[in-house]
Amino acid sequence: MTATLDLVEIIERNESIVSGKRTLFVRLNRKKYSERLLIVMSAHNHGEKYMALRSFLEKQTCDLLFITDPKNSWYLDEDNGESFERVIYNYSKNYDNKNVFLFGSSMSGYGAILHALKLNLNAIASNPQINLNITKDYAWPELIEHINDLNGNHINIEKIAGAIWKDSAIYIIHGHDDIDTINANLLINTKPDNKKLIIQTVDVDSHVLYFGKNIEYVYDVMELLSIFRKNLDLSSTVESLTAEAKNTKKSLRSERNLLSIDDPFRSLTPPKKGILWQDRYNHEAAGSNILFGNIGFYHNNTLSGAICYFDGEKWRLTSLPYNASDNLISCNDFATNGNFNASNNNSFFNDYWWIRNELASPVTINGNHNFCEIHISEARNKNIYINSSIPESVETKNIRGQFLTFTADVFTTEGEISLTLGGVGDSGYHHKNSDKSAAGKWKRLVVFEQFTSVNHNHKDRIFVRFNLAADGKSKVVQIKNACLTIGYFPMGFSE
């Protein structure tokens, strides 16, 4: 193939419909099958577009099959993947199983591993999901929404891997994002009789397709899986990515590894009492009261556990009543002297809260002890937020290694808002964002973050934030029940 490929002509000549799915099968030699087949599976939100089509064709070394999943179904469709399995088998049956490789990223990485295991083929996956239930705890809102669209009709790969893993060779490449490290560890911890698994960690935070246009690395990995030993040099790709990455997540993980306490957000080890919060999806029957052993307050660096009630839509904390003394920002009330004109950037509207308003958008704030109303009549910049830090009087020396939870009830007339919880420690600034609210209804937002270290002398040692205009929309925002507490409460904690 040359760099002047006519992709339209190639698609017209080679595209077919198999089991109701669009496929593009391009042989290296039109007259015969080559020794190997690489199946390229389009990633999340690619629609009908074949992923990296030109890149793979320009450096083609074997027969290529391109398939898509425009429904974003994790290559499961409505039949737990049977139709995609038929499509793959329709082509793979013409090759030795050991010479067929499925390639995917994120959503399609899940599909590549699942169908490789089911058909005894091989998989190359960049940042794949393994357990879609657990993935929702670490994913971004759109990915969560599309997982929810599956209505629970999916397969968690680590649950079946031990039973169906035959001779498949699997290669996973991932970075330091929690969504990727947690999923990789799930497959690492499986115990099939004949597991062939290669894990490569790339020194970046980003959830991206690391190969980019360097598709030759995929062909190299095929060689690696075929002989199961070969040094794979991704240094040039990594170098280009690490220039943009700060490795904060890697540093924080290193700090966590030095601590002698449990990490409930990332650990899948069963607690001494109750069940894991991460296993809540198996207990979501309306009226259920469940003791989760890895949530709650800290007592001697161990989480207390707490009982939660499932109301048919969400889990509610029932066993630990709200106490104002548990709120680290209980004194950080929203009180203003009448309507405060907050158009000036970085201005304080009381002793505790200040506003970021870089382009002086017209903003007014009116608040009292536990309630705040913010009017943004013109959002000239998306970086508009109110921010507060914990008071100097709050002791933080014993927080090392512990989670904090920030929660609040919010309402917005337009667009969305979100929360941020962060701080400054040995690794510098770090933070985490909550889900986003929906316009026109109250929603309790929750964000939790682990503080492996705290710079006690820094003004932002621990801070909270309401992100008001990331969508660029003017609006009226109402906030109440803001609470920051020491403990792991992924379902929220406030009165």
Domain presence at residue 1:
no
- C-alpha R_g of the chain: 25
d(CA 441, CA 412): 7
Does 373 lie in the same domain as 319? Answer: yes
Domain presence at residue 130:
yes
Q: Tokens in use for 200?
A: 């490569």
pTM: 0.78
**Pure H helices in 286-328:** none
Does 362 lie in the same domain as 347? Answer: yes
Domain presence at residue 196:
yes
d(CA 196, CA 117): 11
Does 283 lie in the same domain as 186? Answer: no
Domain boundary among 186, 212, 245: 245
Does 340 lie in the same domain as 203? Answer: no
Does 75 lie in the same domain as 44? Answer: yes
Does 293 lie in the same domain as 209? Answer: no
Quote the pLDDT of residue 1: 42
Domain boundary among 245, 274, 307: 245
Interior angle at CA 160, CA 155 and CA 161, nearest 5: 120
At 267, the pLDDT band (50, 70, 90 cuts) reads: confident
Closest among 239, 230, 252 to 203, alpha carbons compared: 239
Does 259 lie in the same domain as 213? Answer: no
Quote the pLDDT of residue 471: 95
Q: Give the H/E segment covering residue 13.
A: helix 7-14
Which residues form the domain of 62? 7-245
Domain presence at residue 485:
yes
- Total of domains in the chain: 2
Domain presence at residue 2:
no
Domain boundary among 245, 279, 301: 245
What does the DSSP assignment read for 188-224?
Answer: HT---TT-EEEEEE-S----S-TTTT-THHHHHHHHH
pLDDT tens, residue by residue, 451-480: 999 999 999 999 999 999 999 999 999 999
**Pure H helices in 69-135:** 82-92, 107-119, 132-135
pLDDT tens, residue by residue, 329-388: 988 899 998 999 999 999 999 999 999 999 999 999 999 989 999 999 999 999 999 999
253-257, 324-328, 471-475: segment of lowest average pLDDT: 253-257
Domain presence at residue 428:
yes
d(CA 451, CA 44): 32
CATH number where 334 lies:
2.60.120.260
Domain presence at residue 267:
yes
pLDDT tens, residue by residue, 9-62: 999 999 999 999 999 999 999 889 999 999 999 999 999 999 999 999 999 999
pLDDT tens, residue by residue, 431-450: 999 999 999 999 999 999 99
CATH number where 138 lies:
3.40.50.1820
**Pure H helices in 230-302:** 235-242, 248-258
Does 257 lie in the same domain as 225? Answer: no
Please determine, for residue 232, whether its predicted confidence score (pLDDT) is greater than 50.
no
